[in-house]
Structure 1
Amino acid sequence: MARKVGVTVVGGGVVGLTTSLALAEAGYRVTCVRDVPATGTVSAVAGGLWFPYHVEPRDRVVGWGQEALARFRGLVRERGAGVRMAEGVLVERGPADRWWTHGVEGWREAAPSELPEGATGGVVAEVPLVTMPVFLPWLEKRCLAAGVVLEQARVDDLADVTADVVVVAAGLRSGELVGDASGRPSRGQVALLSNPGLDRWLVDDDHPQGMVYALPHPGWVVCGGTDVEGSWDLDPDPGVHAAIVARVRAVVPELAGAEVLGARVGLRPISPSVRLSRTTVRGRDVVTNYGHGGAGVTLSWGCAAEVVRLVGEVVA
């Protein structure tokens, strides 16, 4: 029997794990190397809403997002995955830009009663909402069951990785591994509030006092937020935290009396466009899968499928 081709995926957030699982299911011998467990990555801070936020290029994002949308719909029936379909409203405060609705079934115009003060319109849609502290451990278990070796180590040089093919999916650290200086962080701070029974999400990116979103999960609501490009600060800012809580309570009255559970900060890996391609690093073929901005969850399965295709080209 021919030896299985070995692939090492560098990075163990939602993108790295999904990529590892897709490669293992395609028949490759996969090792996923990550310097921290999935629960320590920016993916663990994510609100988990399927929505292509702060990511380019739109023409490719639509296709990746539609594939991930279909996979997440299928996972709703998977016990323990932490995925559900949830209805909510995307608030508009200006000209409507609804490119993201491609492939989203059954969306409709928001009624005035569903919109906060000052909104010019909105879209009501049912999309996947993923509870990341549940989904990430489930994804790790799926990887292990598929034969993926999960290795905790820090990769500082791809020359140290012994594998037939290397896939770089290490978020913000990816650029330094492949000589790409175009990436940058976008600091996202969120507040966690207890969930009083809220099941509908809301996103109001252009609220005049700052971004507002409320993403309800069993037991808590992820409330935001911020989008500060260039900041590497991982410490929650008390003033920003108080402002987030005040904004979200004003827009979502159901949260007015909800207990504040804490604050979290994550750094979105922003790039001019998603870096999903074959490249060469010091004479070695490498596949890259990073720069997903605020859409790592949203694009995860679609980008993983493309990585499988690209790895197939490398080893052909």
Structure 2
Amino acid sequence: MDGGLNDDVVVVGGGIIGLTTALVLAERGRRVRVWTREPAERTTSAVAGALWWPYRIEPETFVGDWALRSLAVYEELAARPEETGVRMVEGVHAGTRLASLGSWAARVPELRAARAGEYPGPALWGRLPLIDMPAHLPWLRERLLAAGGSVEERTVTDLSAVPAPVVVNCTGLGARELVPDPAVRPVRGQLVVVANPGITTWLTCVDESSDASTYLFPQPGGLVLGGTAEEDAWSLAPDPAVAERIVARCAALRPEIAGARVLEHRVGLRPARPAVRLEREALPDGRVLVHNYGHGGAGVTVAWGCARQAAGLAGPAA
């Protein structure tokens, strides 16, 4: 093989899926390089609200297992929140019942019906991982580097031309053009970050059939308010009118939000697909291409479960 093939594995994509997959491979002894078009801080993952919860992701048959495997990792990382950016935080999923969820829900510790004093209506109470992505993504990258991996800013236009025996495609929405896979579509999410008026618990009120939802996540950098789920919308520019409606919806649930100072507007494009693509493909020259993309609004939620499966598909080190 030529010198470029000594890298063993190249992971294409540097968001939460790419970094986690690369880390799992590196800690299994593989020589791994991540090629990313932009640093993790500028990926869709960086603007995620990042509450652990299977949201807008299929197929349900596999999602529960991927999510539970990831939950176990986040519970361990939450012991070092300042380092990892992961905390276990209490909150309420309004309008959600256990019976409406998959079998995975019964295996989530402390997930139960909310009591009358916790929310006035049907809801679930849980103590779940809430991940501060501006802290977590750099932590993942540093742990990858410590395991011998590397991260390079490189643009890939042809997966089959990447010079490595194993190529792992974690390009998210980029897979639409790169594979190409027209089944990958953007679901635009807009968030508003405000100065936290003292809220310590998260709250979601999500209608998956609507392009608008209401949620608030207390993060170290402020209170994250959401949100939207606009299918096939590509704009990364925050819409001021949408931002006003987001704040108004959240303030209707927590009135103290109404006067909170706006710190930041965020927009991200979730890489939606009818089902996650997690499979191994043989390239014409016999090399291995592993696809791991299409995680919709739940990339953080399933990252570790999918990474471990992808690492298994990559095969053992040569």
**The TM-score by the shorter chain falls in which range?**
over 0.9
1:260 to partner: Cα distance: 1.3
**Unmatched 5+ residue regions in structure 1?**
none
Give the match's secondary structure for 1:114: coil
Which shows bigger deviation, 194-203 or 49-58? Answer: 194-203
Q: What is the match of residue 308 of structure 2?
A: 305
Aligned residue identity for 1:40:
R
TM-score, structure 1 normalization? 0.92
Query: Is the contact between residue 193 and residue 222 of structure 2 (CA under 8 Å) also seen in structure 1?
Result: yes
Which shows bigger deviation, 35-44 or 70-79? Answer: 70-79
Query: Is the contact between residue 193 and residue 258 of structure 1 (CA under 8 Å) also seen in structure 2?
Result: yes
Question: C-alpha distance in 1, partners of 2:205/2:313?
Answer: 37
* Counterpart pick for 2:114 among 110, 117, 127: 110
- Give the alignment of 1:50-61 within 5 angstroms: 50-61=52-63
1:188 aligns with 2:189: yes
Query: Structure 1 stretches (4+) deviating beyond 3 angstroms?
Result: 93-96, 207-210, 280-284
1:90 to partner: Cα distance: 0.4
1:111 to partner: Cα distance: 2.1
Q: What is the match of residue 278 of structure 2?
A: 276
1:5 to partner: Cα distance: 6.8
Question: C-alpha distance in 1, partners of 2:309/2:43?
Answer: 23
Which shows bigger deviation, 238-247 or 208-217? Answer: 208-217
Aligned residue identity for 1:16:
G
1:312 to partner: Cα distance: 1.2
Structure 1 residues 206 and 158, CA gap change in structure 2 (3 angstroms): closer
Give the match's secondary structure for 1:195: coil
Question: C-alpha distance in 1, partners of 2:22/2:178?
Answer: 18
Residues 256-277 of structure 1 show CA distances to partners (whole Å, capped at 9, x for unaligned) of 3321112110000000101111
Question: C-alpha distance in 1, partners of 2:180/2:43?
Answer: 22
Question: C-alpha distance in 1, partners of 2:87/2:191?
Answer: 21
1:194 to partner: Cα distance: 1.0
Question: C-alpha distance in 2, partners of 1:233/1:187?
Answer: 8
Question: C-alpha distance in 1, partners of 2:189/2:284?
Answer: 34
1:33 aligns with 2:35: yes
Query: Is the contact between residue 49 and residue 224 of structure 2 (CA under 8 Å) also seen in structure 1?
Result: yes
What is the RMSD computed on CA atoms of the aligned residues? 2.1
1:103 to partner: Cα distance: 2.3
1:160 to partner: Cα distance: 2.6
Query: Is the contact between residue 209 and residue 247 of structure 1 (CA under 8 Å) also seen in structure 2?
Result: no
* Counterpart pick for 1:46 among 45, 48, 52: 48
**Unmatched 5+ residue regions in structure 2?**
none
> Percent of pairs identical after alignment?
47
Residues 142-189 of structure 1 show CA distances to partners (whole Å, capped at 9, x for unaligned) of 111111111101001113310010000011012332232211000000
1:93 to partner: Cα distance: 6.7
Query: Is the contact between residue 85 and residue 136 of structure 2 (CA under 8 Å) also seen in structure 1?
Result: yes
Question: C-alpha distance in 2, partners of 1:145/1:263?
Answer: 33
Aligned residue identity for 2:203:
L
* Counterpart pick for 1:291 among 285, 291, 294: 294
Give the match's secondary structure for 1:288: strand
Q: Paired residues, what number?
A: 310
Question: C-alpha distance in 2, partners of 1:132/1:74?
Answer: 17
Q: What is the match of residue 176 of structure 1?
A: 177
Give the match's secondary structure for 2:228: coil
